[in-house]
């Protein structure tokens, strides 16, 4: 499927590139939103990512899934942005789009879930960018270690260590700042 889409793009089919964007925009958004604080900068970084993807398609070697390759470009583009700006990330993150009313759930349950999600997100935002990113890729995107290794370029042992440390730091922050009953 990836090869067909890429071949269509390389032949000048703009619709095929739009398909690539649609199929990967959620993953790219997760990475960009976790690493880049400023909303306007997020748009610029995302646009830069897809420009790099488009320019890099002729050199894509099918050694990984196209989405993994694009996630790798997203990660390195964000790192380059952070190095350029030398920013410390934290503060805000947009409301989770997956928090729409789920079928059959009471409003009180939804409010509780939203509050809990907000608490979790606020504490995650205080973690270093690499910790946040690996947590999102593993737990929210459901990627396997191998895919995250390809995206981040981290050795698998380092990735596992970062995941462990990120979970531990998140747990400690939550237990320190909130009563168990609140969680």
The pLDDT, as a whole number, for residue 97 is 41
The pLDDT, as a whole number, for residue 16 is 93
Q: pLDDT of 146-164, one tens digit each?
A: 999 998 899 999 999 999 9
Residues 6 or more apart whose CB falls under 8 angstroms from that of 17 comprise 9, 54
Q: What is the SS3 assignment for 93? A: coil
Average pLDDT rounded to a whole number, residues 58-62: 91
Of the candidates 65, 66, 70, the residue with the CA atom closest to the CA atom of residue 28: 70
Question: Which one of 44-48, 96-100, 139-143 scores highest in mean pLDDT?
Answer: 44-48
The pLDDT, as a whole number, for residue 67 is 93
Domains for the chain: give ranges and CATH numbers: 2-85 (1.10.1740.10), 97-182 (1.10.10.10)
The pLDDT, as a whole number, for residue 55 is 94
Is residue 22 within 8 A of residue 50, CB to CB? The reply is no
Count of CB atoms situated within 10 Å of the CB of 141: 17
Is the pLDDT confidence value at 10 over 90? Answer: yes
Is residue 34 within 8 A of residue 128, CB to CB? The reply is no
Band (pLDDT 50/70/90 cuts) for residue 87 is very low
C-alpha span between 132 and 130 (Å, rounded): 5
The pLDDT, as a whole number, for residue 182 is 55
Whether the full predicted model's pTM is greater than 0.75, yes or no, is no
């Amino acid at each position: 499927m990836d090869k067909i889409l890429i071949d269509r793009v390389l032949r000048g089919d703009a619709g095929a590139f739009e398909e690539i964007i649609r199929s990967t925009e959620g993953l790219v958004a997760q990475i960009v939103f976790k690493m880049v604080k400023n909303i306007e900068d997020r748009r610029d970084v995302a646009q830069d990512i897809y420009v790099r993807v488009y320019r890099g398609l002729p050199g894509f070697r099918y050694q990984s899934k196209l989405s993994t390759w694009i996630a790798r470009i997203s990660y390195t583009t964000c790192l380059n942005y952070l190095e350029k700006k030398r920013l410390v990330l934290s503060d805000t993150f947009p409301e989770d789009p997956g928090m729409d009313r789920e079928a059959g759930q009471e409003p009180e349950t939804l409010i509780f879930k939203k509050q809990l999600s907000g608490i979790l997100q606020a504490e995650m935002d205080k973690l270093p960018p690499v910790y946040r990113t690996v947590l999102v890729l593993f737990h929210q995107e459901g990627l396997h270690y191998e895919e995250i290794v390809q995206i981040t370029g981290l050795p698998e042992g380092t990735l596992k260590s970062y995941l462990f440390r990120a979970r531990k730091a998140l747990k400690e922050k939550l237990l320190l700042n909130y009563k168990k009953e609140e969680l």
